[in-house]
Structure 1
Amino acid sequence: MKFITKKRVVLFLLFIFPLICFLILSTGKNNFTKLPIVTKNITDISKIDGTKKVQLKDNVSIICFLGNDVNTNKSGLFNLNEKVYKKFTDYKKFQIVAIYPNGKETEAEKLKGEIGAFTDMQKWVFMASSKEEIEALYSSFSFDEPLTNLASSKAFLIDKNVNLRGRLKDSDSKDGKLYGYNMNSVSELNAKLKDDVKVLYYEYYAAFKEKNKNKADRKEVGL
């Protein structure tokens, strides 16, 4: 057909097609979904922190359980540091909390020093607590996989309201629920935890924008 020329195809791809896509997206329904809450109102670390300096409230936190042998998940912590922590060091109210039993301070400090050899540790928190308090905190997650010697290979994502976040339709998890992210799996940290932290921050950003929009709307109508 003479009407369909190479020049017209190029013009369509460069100008008309993008415009159509824009119109569809701008008029369509926003399909953004929030990161699911898998357990509400877990125990805040402030209740078991002897220094009273660490809290989950108003922070986006990733919690790790080091156990009696703090080197059990050493490689996993290095993975977490490289694949997740370094991506979010500039984000506000972000922290990684590594919990270990009382009496393991020397080993924990050594591990902290190894991780910090090439990392700004400003948003890493290493915290000691009693066996009973560690177990009580972990129990509040309602996760049916028990700690092993007070340690877990999972990293747990906690929102600003102290809820455990994860996934409810995860094909790799039992019953579809993803409570924690395997620190020993680089692919899981990359494809799931890193993405989920981004989704959580976008959720807060979207809520902030909506709040400001509502304030502006009220001003316009004199409220």
Structure 2
Amino acid sequence: MKKTFVLVVLFILPLVAYMFFASGVNNFGRLPTLTEDVQDLQAFSPQETLEGKITILGFLGYDLEMKKGNAFNLNQKIYKPFYEFRDFQMVMVLPKGSEEKVAELKKELSGLADIRNWKFVHGEDQDIKALFSSLKTNMELDEKLGSPYVFIIDKDRNLRGRSNDEDEGMKYGFDATSVADINNKMEDDVKVILAEYRLALKKNNAKRN
């Protein structure tokens, strides 16, 4: 009995404590809503929607070659672990005229993963600017209408993020050029919002039963 107690104290409790702290505080609450009513995608083609979807929204802009690395980072660290979750999607926004370059990118991505939930939409410059503006962040698109940042949009078209991030304070988006930002923060926050919806679904099913 004493040996068992000692083993629990020495090995099990530290492991439980590590798992608790490593998972992050955010895992135990809702991901804050930072902006409500983000604009939907009616102005873009092909026709896609943010409504009813958990979306990772990004802006690749005119200089797609320079943003390819961002797409590959997101594909490996965010898309592949979560793409099989119901209603999860990646939406990348680009100007009209970039369709051929997107076809090349999709071909490259398809060699790494099932890309059925990667969505690429094209629009006029003013529509891209309006969509980005509707996020109401402290960021701006670059001169090529792109951004290294990607954003978590919930099923009600609300921007989710961190209202009290230890490094940035209000954290609207995640830097896709930074493996640390994706690994240490974004992945955690995507887990939070997916868990939030799974919990809500279980509660609804329990009420029906």
TM bracket (short chain): 0.7 to 0.9
Unmatched 5+ stretches in structure 2? 17-26
CA drift of 1:15 comes to 7.8
- Residues 120 and 212 of structure 1, relative CA distance in 2, 3 Å threshold: closer
CA distance in 1, matches of 2:112, 2:208: 44
Unmatched 5+ stretches in structure 1? 1-6, 22-30, 217-223
| Cross-structure match for 2:139 | 145
Whether the 8 Å CA contact 1:35–1:165 is kept in 2: the answer is yes
1:74-99 CA distance string (max 9 Å, x none) = 11111111111111122111110111
CA distance in 2, matches of 1:122, 1:214: 33
Q: Scaled by the length of structure 1, what TM-score is found?
A: 0.80
Name the aligned partner's letter for residue 157 of structure 1. Answer: I
1:33 maps onto 2:29 in alignment? yes
Q: Secondary structure at the match of 2:28?
A: coil
CA drift of 1:71 comes to 1.6
Name the aligned partner's letter for residue 127 of structure 1. Answer: V
Name the aligned partner's letter for residue 79 of structure 1. Answer: N
CA distance in 2, matches of 1:135, 1:126: 16
| Cross-structure match for 2:176 | 183
1:81 to 67, 75, 81: 75
Alignment RMSD: 2.3
Q: Secondary structure at the match of 2:202?
A: helix
CA drift of 1:51 comes to 3.5
CA drift of 1:64 comes to 1.0
CA drift of 1:32 comes to 2.7
Name the aligned partner's letter for residue 98 of structure 2. Answer: K
| Cross-structure match for 2:204 | 211
Whether the 8 Å CA contact 2:88–2:117 is kept in 1: the answer is yes
Whether the 8 Å CA contact 1:49–1:129 is kept in 2: the answer is yes
Q: How does 1:61-80 map to 2 (within 5 A)?
A: 61-80=55-74
| Cross-structure match for 1:26 | none
| Cross-structure match for 1:166 | 161
CA drift of 1:134 comes to 0.5
Whether the 8 Å CA contact 1:68–1:150 is kept in 2: the answer is yes
- Residues 189 and 15 of structure 1, relative CA distance in 2, 3 Å threshold: closer
Higher Cα Rg, which structure: 1
Whether the 8 Å CA contact 1:63–1:156 is kept in 2: the answer is yes
